[in-house]
Chain A
Amino acid sequence: MSVPLHGIIAEYESAEELLHAARRAREAGYTQMDAYSPFPVHGLSEAIGFEDHKVPWVVFISGVIGAIAGFSLQYYVSVIDYPLNVGGRPFLSWPSFIPVTFETTVLFAAFGAFIGMLALNGLPQPYHPVFNAPRFERASQDRFFLCIEASDPLFDRVKTRQFLENTGARLVSEVEE
Chain B
Amino acid sequence: MQQEIVRTEPAGRLIEGGHTYESITHKIGSVVLSYKHPRAWYIVTAIAAVGVFTLITSIAWLLLRGVGIWGINQPVGWGFAIINFVWWIGIGHAGTLISAILLLLRQQWRTSINRFAEAMTIFAVMCAGMFPLLHVGRPWVAYWLLPIPNWTSAWPQFRSPLIWDVFAVTTYFTVSLLFWFTGLIPDFATLRDRAKKRIAQVIFGVLAMGWRNSAKHWHRYDAAYLLLAGLSTPLVVSVHSIVSLDFAVSLIPGWHTTIFPPYFVAGAIYSGFAMVLTLVIPIRAWYKMQDFLTMKHLDWMAKIMLATGLIVFYGYIMEMFTAFYSANQYEQYLAANRFFGPYAPYFWALLICNGLIPQVLWSPKVRQNVALLFIIALIVNVGMWLERFVIVVTSLHRDFLPSSWGMYYPTVWDWGLYLGTIGFFTFMMFLFVRFVPMISIFEMRDLLHQTDRHHPAAATTTAAATPVAHTEVTP
Chain A interface (Cβ < 8 Å from any Cβ of B): 13-15, 34-41, 44-45, 47-48, 50-56, 59, 73-74, 77-78, 81-82, 84, 86, 89, 93, 96-97, 99-100, 102-104, 106-107, 109-111, 113-114, 116-118, 120-121, 123-128, 130-131, 134-135, 137-142, 170
Q: A35-B215, A56-B227, A81-B155 are in contact. Are A141 and B238 (CB under 8 A)?
A: no
A41 pairs with B210, CB closer than 8 A: no
B186 pairs with A121, CB closer than 8 A: no
Nearest chain B CB to A57 CB, angstrom units: 10
In the complex, A110 Cα to B159 Cα: how many Å? 25
In the complex, A116 Cα to B220 Cα: how many Å? 9
Nearest chain B CB to A162 CB, angstrom units: 23
Interface string of B202-222 (1 = CB under 8 A from A): 000000011111111111111
Partner of A106 from the list B25, B175, B193, B209 (CB cut-off 8 Å) is: B175
Chain B interface (Cβ < 8 Å from any Cβ of A): 20-22, 25, 147, 153-159, 161, 163-164, 167-168, 171, 174-175, 178-179, 181-182, 186, 189-190, 192-194, 209-224, 227-228, 231-232, 234-235, 238, 242, 245, 442-443, 445-446, 449, 463, 466, 468, 470, 473-474
A59 pairs with B220, CB closer than 8 A: no
Nearest chain B CB to A94 CB, angstrom units: 10
Q: A106-B231, A121-B221 are in contact. Are A37 and B213 (CB under 8 A)?
A: yes
Partner of A14 from the list B181, B224, B463 (CB cut-off 8 Å) is: B463
Interface centre among A13, A77, A103, A170, by most B CB within 10 Å?
A103
A128 pairs with B158, CB closer than 8 A: no
B227 pairs with A59, CB closer than 8 A: yes
In the complex, A73 Cα to B181 Cα: how many Å? 29
Partner of B213 from the list A14, A38, A110, A123 (CB cut-off 8 Å) is: A38
| Selected A-B contacts with CB under 8 Å, 14 pairs | A34-B214, A35-B215, A37-B215, A38-B25, A39-B218, A40-B222, A53-B223, A59-B227, A78-B158, A81-B155, A110-B231, A117-B220, A121-B217, A126-B210
In the complex, A130 Cα to B194 Cα: how many Å? 17
Partner of B470 from the list A123, A134, A138 (CB cut-off 8 Å) is: A138
Closest to A36 in B: B213
Residues of A within 8 A of B174 (CB): 107, 110
Partner of A116 from the list B215, B224, B242 (CB cut-off 8 Å) is: B224
Nearest chain B CB to A98 CB, angstrom units: 9
Residues of A within 8 A of B220 (CB): 52, 54-55, 117, 120-121
A104 pairs with B216, CB closer than 8 A: no
A55 pairs with B223, CB closer than 8 A: yes
A56 pairs with B218, CB closer than 8 A: no
Closest to B224 in A: A117
In the complex, A124 Cα to B188 Cα: how many Å? 13
B463 pairs with A13, CB closer than 8 A: yes
Residues of A within 8 A of B163 (CB): 100
Known: A54-B220, A74-B158, A110-B178. 11 other contacts (CB 8 A): A13-B463, A38-B445, A99-B168, A102-B238, A106-B234, A113-B227, A117-B220, A117-B221, A121-B217, A134-B474, A140-B193
A140 pairs with B190, CB closer than 8 A: yes
Q: A39-B443, A140-B190, A140-B213 are in contact. Are A104 and B219 (CB under 8 A)?
A: no
Can you list the 4 inter-chain pairs with the closest CB atoms, starting with the nearest? A117-B224, A124-B209, A142-B21, A125-B210
Q: A117-B220, A121-B216 are in contact. Are A107 and B473 (CB under 8 A)?
A: no
Nearest chain A CB to B24 CB, angstrom units: 9
Q: A34-B215, A106-B175, A137-B194 are in contact. Are A40 and B221 (CB under 8 A)?
A: yes
Residues of A within 8 A of B442 (CB): 38-40
Nearest chain B CB to A80 CB, angstrom units: 10
A123 pairs with B211, CB closer than 8 A: yes
Residues of A within 8 A of B228 (CB): 110, 113-114
In the complex, A106 Cα to B169 Cα: how many Å? 12
A45 pairs with B219, CB closer than 8 A: yes
Nearest chain A CB to B347 CB, angstrom units: 31
B466 pairs with A13, CB closer than 8 A: yes
Q: A48-B215, A107-B171 are in contact. Are A114 and B178 (CB under 8 A)?
A: yes
